[in-house]
Amino acid sequence: MEGATALEAVFEPVQPLTTFEETVDRLGTAIRLGLLAPGARLPPERELAEQLGISRSTLRQALTTLVQSGHLISLRGRAGGTFVAEQPPLSDGDGRLRPDWREVLDQRVAIECGAALLAAERSNPAALEVMEDVIEQMDSRPDFETYRRADVRFHIALAEATGTPRLIAQMTEVQGAMTELIALIAHPDLVLGHSNDEHRRIVACLRKGDGMAAVRILRKHLAGTEHIIAGLLPANAAA
């Protein structure tokens, strides 16, 4: 990233998504992050197409793709419909470290630390309660996929505590990218317990309105994952 400039970013190749690709990406990310829970039924096709502002044919193609990838199941009959799979894939990566991994980590730091400052200033009780609820879920030490989805919910609730829709959308996007990276590393129970202790301390700081303390804990929290991800690369590539 050294030497990167805003002007260079302007002239990067444009890679526009088609409505089909964007629909698959949006629904797939929501499923992987647990925003659409396992077993949840999607709205009827006509209603969902109207909500998304796309044609029914485009929606059908997207849903077929997500069924084939294991994210959704389609059932026929009176009780039929399209449902989120009970065990959808947690990541759609190919098992290799994505080339923009460092940019993803940097984006996460900027979004999450900024969200923590705003969340402390605005102290949204409902969002803080969600964060505390998912901390309890993670304390029960479920299987890692369940833990990760609760972890994602914690960080998205951090953005929700700011009351800023654009920031919530950015947090959701970066959590999707992080899930792909996190799928590559081991998750010992001791590490998960330590991570959840940091979650609890972050919420305590937010409740006191101490944004700077929350950011210090959060930055350390994020740095642990950064070091592990960097360790997946040869020494000369991680520098």
pLDDT tens-place string over residues 213-228 = 999 999 999 998 888 7
Res 104 pLDDT > 80: yes
Q: Where are the strands (E) in 4-129, listed by range? A: 72-75, 81-84
Q: Strand, coil or helix: what is 219?
A: helix
Structure tokens at 182: 């996190």
Q: What is the pTM of this model?
A: 0.74
Res. 25 pLDDT band, cuts 50 70 90: confident
How large is the average pLDDT for residues 84-92?
A: 78
Given the structure tokens 């959308």, which residue do they identify?
Answer: 169
| 210 secondary structure, DSSP code | -
- CA dihedral angle for residue 124, residue 128, residue 131, residue 133, rounded to 10 degrees: -130
Contacts of 209 (CB under 8 A, 6+ apart): 120, 121, 123
Residue, of 11 and 74, whose pLDDT is higher = 74
Nearest to 167 by CA among 83, 107, 121: 107
How large is the average pLDDT for residues 144-166?
A: 92
Report the pLDDT value the prediction gives residue 237, as an integer from 0 to 100: 44
The superfamily (CATH) of domain 101-238 is: GntR ligand-binding domain-like (1.20.120.530)
How large is the average pLDDT for residues 114-136?
A: 95
pLDDT tens column, 158-208: 999 999 999 999 999 999 889 888 888 778 888 889 999 999 999 999 999
Distances (CA, A) of 140 to 22, 36, 86, 147, 181: 35, 22, 20, 9, 24
Report the pLDDT value the prediction gives residue 236, as an integer from 0 to 100: 36
Maximum mean pLDDT: which of 101-105, 139-143, 145-149, 188-192: 101-105
Which range is least confidently modeled, 29-33, 36-40, 108-112, 133-137? 29-33
Q: Give CATH 1.10.10.10 domain extents, the chain.
A: 19-84
Residue, of 65 and 168, whose pLDDT is higher = 168
Distances (CA, A) of 181 to 170, 174, 230: 17, 11, 11
Whole-number average pLDDT of the chain: 85
pLDDT tens column, 76-85: 877 789 999 9
Q: Give CATH 1.20.120.530 domain extents, the chain.
A: 101-238
Q: What whole-number distance in Å separates Cα of residue 50 and Cα of residue 52?
A: 5
Res 235 pLDDT > 50: no
Res. 18 pLDDT band, cuts 50 70 90: confident
Provide the phi-psi class of 96: left if phi over 0, else alpha when psi is between -120 and 50, else beta: beta
Structure tokens at 5: 């400039």
Phi and psi, residue 83, nearest 5° = -125, 150
The H-assigned helical ranges of 183-232 are 189-208, 211-230
Report the pLDDT value the prediction gives residue 219, as an integer from 0 to 100: 95
19-84 CATH pick, 3.10.100.10, 2.40.160.20, 1.10.10.10, 3.40.50.1980 = 1.10.10.10
Res. 72 pLDDT band, cuts 50 70 90: very high
